[in-house]
Structure 1
Amino acid sequence: MAINDSSVATFFNKYHYNFWRPETAIRAGDTDGNPRTDPDPDFVPFIVTPCFPSYPSNHGSASSGGAEVLRRLYGEGGHSITLSNPAVSTIVLQYTSFRQISDDVSDARVYGGIHFRFDQDVGARLGRAVGKAVYKNNLRAVHDDGWDDHWDDN
């Protein structure tokens, strides 16, 4: 629910703000009104640029929305999460919190050249807010043992 709702909120905002991607901004650096910015017409990101606006990041919001629900269900940290892919067997990622995973997702989008850092930061904040709302309003406890009482509303 949180991943889906975060995606809906993100795409609403993408087309509201209609902000350009780094590939467009870097190639057109001479059109942004800043005399200190030079264009680089040969810039190519490491990841193929999606065909929709950049801000806010959908990956940032969806991963953070899902991570927020998991954090509230299973706790902040102390986990042992291993991610691997047979296609890239030399890379094995180890995590101890859900936030570490969503932070890696955000870093990959920035380092890949298809998002600005603020796209990711705002997307993550949006996702956490949606995750919190989904947890508080859509999920129901199996039994009432006060489990939710220790989570703050921030």
Structure 2
Amino acid sequence: MRRPVQIPRETLIFIRSAIFAAAASLTMLAPVCSEAADGIRMMLKVQIPPDTGNQAIKAGDQGKIFEEMIDKMKPEATYFTQEDGLRTVYFVYTVHDTADFAAIHEPFIQGFGARVYDMPALTWDELKAGFEAIDEKP
């Protein structure tokens, strides 16, 4: 039988703070996002470990996966770089349905063993509209 993992109190406090911060961000973005009839702009960060990235390159899979995903996502921008010793790709794209996240994330996870992070990406005007909506609340 597996033993339960002991998580330090400081870690739990940090996790709880992160959850509250995320909830607050979503609350702030709600007026902006709910009016976005054509979807919500997102920034997807994909980090590929060296071992699995090298295997994908040797097998000829890396280019195929990126081509398929760029065709599927139709990002407004894509940037390839390295961060923390990992091949890193940033996509700025629009999501129309939360059900799309699995179809977007899984090819990177399964194809590269990638770490995938997705977050809303707002322009300054969109962020100001969110701040104004907060200011209007009693």
TM-score over 0.5 for the pair: no
Higher strand proportion: 2
**What range describes the TM-score normalised by the shorter chain of this pair?**
under 0.3
Give me the TM-score of the superposition, normalised by structure 2: 0.28
TM-score by length of 1: 0.25
